[in-house]
Amino acid sequence: MNLVSVAPRELSVAALCKRGELPRAAATLFASHGTEVFAFLEAFLDEHTARGLFGEVQERAMAELLGLDHDKVNLRTWLFGLARRAHLAHVQALEAQPASSRAVVSSQPRSGPRTKAGFDALAVDDKHLLVLCLDRGLRFDEIAEILYGATDDDARRKRWAEALQARCTELQATLAT
């Protein structure tokens, strides 16, 4: 990771981790990125369920934070990746239940792509792409890291980002019709 592009709070988190100060490192991390990561989860879920999954993200972050290579990891995209995986696990658990036993929870979208007709029919990866791009304003290279994982291969990262940009444009056109 290019340290010039790293936010001062990310450097602070890294320094706190190196000193073994996990509670302060986690508090700094979530002060920096917690609100937007929670909003990502809330784009798909009712507030209660989003809070529960956000708690799981916090626990997972606490468990993994000290072991990260802070010279290679962008903490913001890493945290979004944890949230995405928590949401995917939640979706898979719901799909594994018989339809008759699933609780029906309605969440009213506040704004963004969720307000578009047809959003709910999209595949979960497409929903994640739209929310990360349109609601959260992440760059496509950051979204590629969240969806596909980190890579040191710049050409691969660029191909992933270009494909995601094209897919996002395609989805937006589909939802606009």
Smallest CA-to-CA distance from 174 within 118, 124, 131, 120 is with 118
In order along its 177 residues, the chain shows pLDDT tens digits of: 434 345 677 788 989 999 999 999 999 999 999 999 999 999 999 999 999 999 999 999 999 998 998 888 899 999 999 999 999 999 999 888 776 655 544 444 444 555 566 888 899 999 999 999 998 999 999 999 999 988 888 899 999 999 999 999 999 998 887
Helices and strands in the chain, H and E counts: 7, 0
Q: Are 37 and 83 in contact (CB under 8 A)?
A: yes
Is the dihedral angle over the CA atoms 15, 17, 21, 23 positive or is it negative? Answer: positive
Read off the amino acid at residue 76. R
Which of these three, 63, 81, 108, is where a domain ends? Answer: 108
Longest CA–CA span in the chain (Å) reads: 54
Smallest CA-to-CA distance from 53 within 27, 77, 87, 78 is with 87
Residues 80, 126 share a domain: no
- The phi, psi pair for 8, rounded to 5°, reads -55, -35
Residues 121, 102 share a domain: no
pLDDT value of residue 100: 62
Residues 69, 5 share a domain: yes
Q: What is the DSSP string of 93-143?
A: HHHHS-GGG---------SGGGGSTTGGGS-HHHHHHHIIIIIS---HHHH
Structural domain of 28: 1-108
Residues 17, 44 share a domain: yes
Q: Are 38 and 29 in contact (CB under 8 A)?
A: no
Which of these three, 55, 80, 108, is where a domain ends? Answer: 108
Residues 50, 73 share a domain: yes
Residues 153, 66 share a domain: no
Residues 99, 129 share a domain: no
Which of these three, 53, 86, 108, is where a domain ends? Answer: 108
Residues 65, 146 share a domain: no
pLDDT value of residue 110: 46
Domain count, the chain: 2
pLDDT value of residue 35: 95
Query: C-alpha distances in angstroms, 39 versus 54, 61, 69, 80?
Result: 10, 17, 26, 11
User: H-helix or E-strand containing 151?
Assistant: none
Residues 101, 25 share a domain: yes
pLDDT value of residue 107: 46
Residues 133, 120 share a domain: yes
Residues 87, 20 share a domain: yes
Residues 77, 1 share a domain: yes
